[in-house]
Homo-oligomer: A and B are copies of this chain.
Amino acid sequence: MNYSPLNFREKLTQFSDHWSPKVIAEMNDYQFKLVKVQGDFVWHDHPDTDEVFIVLDGQMTIQFRDGAVELSAGEMYVVPKGVEHKTWAREECHMLLVEPQGVVNTGDVVDPKTAQNDLWV
Instruction: Flag if A74 contacts B27 (CB, 8 Å).
Output: no
**Inter-chain contacts of A100 with B (CB < 8 A):** 28
How many chain A residues sit at the interface, stated as a range, is 35 or more
Q: Provide the A4-48 mask, 1 if CB < 8 A to any CB of B, else 0.
A: 111111000000000000001111101010000000000000000
Nearest-neighbour CB distance to chain B for A10, whole angstroms, equals: 9
List the 10 shortest-distance A-B pairs measured between CB atoms, nearest first. A1-B67, A3-B69, A5-B75, A27-B50, A5-B71, A6-B76, A27-B52, A7-B75, A8-B74, A25-B78
Instruction: Flag if A68 contacts B6 (CB, 8 Å).
Output: no
**Inter-chain contacts of A24 with B (CB < 8 A):** 76
User: In whole angstroms, what is the CA distance A51 to B66 when docked?
Assistant: 35
Instruction: Flag if A3 contacts B98 (CB, 8 Å).
Output: no
User: In whole angstroms, what is the CA distance A5 to B59 when docked?
Assistant: 12
Residue of B nearest to A26 (CB): B78
User: In whole angstroms, what is the CA distance A98 to B52 when docked?
Assistant: 11
Contact of A49 with B by CB under 8 A: yes
**Inter-chain contacts of A71 with B (CB < 8 A):** 5
Instruction: Flag if A2 contacts B68 (CB, 8 Å).
Output: yes
